Structure 1
């Protein structure tokens, strides 16, 4: 079986894995604010969570692309430099002298997939925990920037620090308070945000 055929068979499982990672990232982020995000999410929110995460920031997108590119070439790199002790120690390689050529290829491919899965897990979970932690610290220390304005269909407005949103709700902190509000999109006319300059502005 060709490696490309194996990849095609693994793609559905790979996407399911990315969906799980997206759920974990969102869960770890919102859990720090006492929110069970799954209660406020639709099936569509869950299914598109990996794509939303990839496209959320240019730095995130470039990082993910580089991670995938590196792991595409990693099996060949491991085969070429498997005799070096530093590579053996770094990737915990096992001897392949008694393996056939195809078995050796399969070994490095499997090792690469496991490594890719681990790297993505650390990246998504770490991003969720880190972003939530820093946002919570800014709120506690009164350094959060309330640079968004929610305009309700009733005509009322609020200056807010936006935590995030999905297809049904906005999650935010109102200026002057430390109370988390969860508001349905149907009750919001529009949201105004200050203009952000720069390619990697957050």
Structure 2
């Protein structure tokens, strides 16, 4: 058993999750900023800690695409590591600067540089997924509200006999963010004040 690898994973996993939490906060901050809402005021510590998992499972197709791209990048990186002794790798635009700055570097130094390049690319890719999603979906939600082009897939019941169809923007453990049919103002209601939320137009069951 490789105990050094286990120790390394024990160190990296918490740091990786912390990175995802920070990105989740930035993603939600950007998304709600597009709608004029300071989401920190409406979030609990649980929402912050669970935001990476919520964001990664919110859009499965995008998640699969990002995982596939990163896996392809990993294979490409591994191929370069195994071919690090070949001239076409050393003289490539990506790695040529390394040898100019580090003329006395060893083969292992070069392999470590390639691995670090992969790690940096991975971090940038994940950050782009979170922040790009926040900006893109925030703009989409804002435009739908402004242009009254919303799809009312939910029915919210406040009290027995009082309900309304709604365009659900988002929700967390404390609040629902939605626009009622016939309105343009964003409503923010605590989960305790809402009796029931129905998904009335479920595209997966059509």
Give the TM-score of the pair, scaled to structure 1. Answer: 0.85
In structure 2, what is the Cα distance between the partners aligned to 1:84 and 1:51? 41
Task: Give the equivalent residue in structure 2 for 1:69.
Answer: 71
Q: Evaluate the alpha carbon distance shift between residue 91 and residue 12 of structure 1 in structure 2; reply closer, same or farther with a 3 A threshold.
A: farther
Number of residue equivalences:
199
Structure 2 residue aligned with 1:27, among 22, 25, 29? 29
Structure 2 residue aligned with 1:151, among 157, 162, 166? 157
The 8 Å contact of residues 81 and 114 in structure 2, kept in 1 or not, is answered as yes
Structure that is richer in helix per residue:
2
Moved more, 87-96 or 181-190: 87-96
Q: Deviations over 1:34-63 (max 9, x none)?
A: 111111111111111111111112202212
Task: Give the equivalent residue in structure 2 for 1:44.
Answer: 46
In structure 2, what is the Cα distance between the partners aligned to 1:98 and 1:74? 26
Aligned counterparts, 1:153-192, within 5 A:
153-192=159-198
In structure 2, what is the Cα distance between the partners aligned to 1:21 and 1:127? 11
Structure 2 residue aligned with 1:94, among 89, 93, 98? 98
Long gaps (5+) in structure 1: none
In structure 1, what is the Cα distance between the partners aligned to 2:67 and 2:130? 14
Q: Evaluate the alpha carbon distance shift between residue 91 and residue 129 of structure 1 in structure 2; reply closer, same or farther with a 3 A threshold.
A: farther
Shift of 1:138: 1.3
Give the TM-score of the pair, scaled to structure 2. Answer: 0.84
Shift of 1:6: 3.9
Shift of 1:173: 0.9
Shift of 1:91: 7.2
The 8 Å contact of residues 170 and 183 in structure 1, kept in 2 or not, is answered as yes
The 8 Å contact of residues 176 and 191 in structure 2, kept in 1 or not, is answered as yes
